[in-house]
Amino acid sequence: MHFNLKLKEMNKLLIVGTVAFDAIETPFGKTDKILGGAGTYIGLSASHFNLQSAIVSVVGDDFPQEYLDLLTSRNIDISGLEVVKGGKTFFWSGKYHNDLNSRDTLATELNVLADFQPKVPQNFKNADVVMLGNLHPMVQSSVLDQMEAKPKLVVLDTMNFWMDCALEDLLNVIKRVDVITINDEEARQLSGEYSLVKAAAKIHTMGPKYVVIKKGEHGALIFHNKEVFFAPALPLEEVFDPTGAGDTFAGGFAGFITQSENVSFENMKTAIIHGSNLASFCVEKFGTERMLKLNKEEVVARLKQFKSLTQFDIAL
Ligand code: AMP
């Protein structure tokens, strides 16, 4: 008997974001330069879904092959990850306060990121979802310019650093995206509003139809028109290092949307639960350590915890 089965290609997620060296200090310890970067965390998080992903980014030739191998071992296509000969990899260093909810940036060295011209791999120019992770807004724009088919969804994440040094470019790219994910302090800075409800309303007028505001250990909100939905963060006994939690959240959000091919607001509610779930693992160890050891059973078990945390019956 002959079967003429044509297997459906997995959906594609194109990721842009820093691939970096991080040096982190928390009340529990300190690291030297370890693997970090927004693109790295997004990629590792999204690899928990059934999809094809590629990272567009840049590193110097000081970046260990071992780290590149880690990414490819997670089925992340790195043909758009440029290695600059003689260049130095982007470096970020941060120190967390005792409550772990806030941090000071001690150093941001752009290095090879300063003159980076991104090149989207040909087979990802038709990606279903584009996740514009944190890096220069001109790089984020350039990636959108290279798309040959309109993505079903474009998600953007950014941070205060780019609001301080490239606001105009940032506003230009924000106009072009469907979803923005941003933390509470950054939402306030971008909008000039203290109330997060007013901040979200103002950010809507800048372009994105969906505004996700991340509030660290206090969960995340998604706003769409007049509607709002909340995903808690899982109360954890121990938080070790929050670095990358925001990017892991964004990777989980974008990864789930890519896998499910559904860009409705209802589905985005589920997507922020997946984002919170994956981020809850990220903070349990330094840097990418926990994400690199995470397995499917652990992910599913914790999703069940999320469900029981938030479900209740009430007589109305
Ligand atoms: P998060 O804790 O989610 O804000 O992300 C921390 C990660 O973002 C670290 O791994 C850094 O390498 C990266 N990062 C820090 N500052 C920047 C920046 N200005 N642009 C892009 N990535 C950055």
Q: Is 180 touching ligand 1 by the criterion CB < 6 Å? A: no
Q: Give the mean model confidence (pLDDT) for residues 55-60.
A: 98
Query: How far, in Å, is the centroid of ligand 1 from the Cα of 90?
Result: 10
Listing DSSP states for 216-285 in one string gives GGG-EEEEETTEEEEEPPPP-S-----TTHHHHHHHHHHHHHHHHT--SHHHHHHHHHHHHHHHHHHTTS
Q: Is 161 touching ligand 1 by the criterion CB < 6 Å? A: yes
Give the predicted TM-score (pTM) of the model: 0.96
Query: How far, in Å, is the centroid of ligand 1 from the Cα of 185?
Result: 15
Q: 8: pLDDT confidence band, cut at 50, 70 and 90? A: confident
Query: How far, in Å, is the centroid of ligand 1 from the Cα of 214?
Result: 15
What residues are paired with 156 via a beta bridge?
132, 180
Query: How far, in Å, is the centroid of ligand 1 from the Cα of 24?
Result: 11
Task: Compute, in degrees rounded to 10, the torsion defined by CA atoms 37, 38, 39, 42.
Answer: 130
Q: Is 135 touching ligand 1 by the criterion CB < 6 Å? A: yes
Q: How far apart, in Å, are the Cα atoms of 267 and each of 197, 257, 263, 284, 286?
A: 21, 7, 6, 27, 31
Q: Which two tokens stand for residue 73?
A: 């071992």
Name the nearest CA neighbour of 134 among 103, 152, 108, 97: 108
Report the nearest atom of ligand 1 relative to the CA of 91.
12
Domain 12-306 listed as CATH 3.40.1190.20: yes
pLDDT of 1 reads 53
Query: How far, in Å, is the centroid of ligand 1 from the Cα of 301?
Result: 28
Q: Which two tokens stand for residue 313?
A: 């019956």
74 has pLDDT over 60 = yes
Q: Could you read off the pLDDT of 222-275 as tens digits, one per residue?
A: 999 999 999 999 999 889 999 999 999 999 999 999 999 999 999 999 999 999
Nearest CA to ligand 1 atom 10: 37
At 18, phi and psi to the nearest 5?
Answer: -65, 145
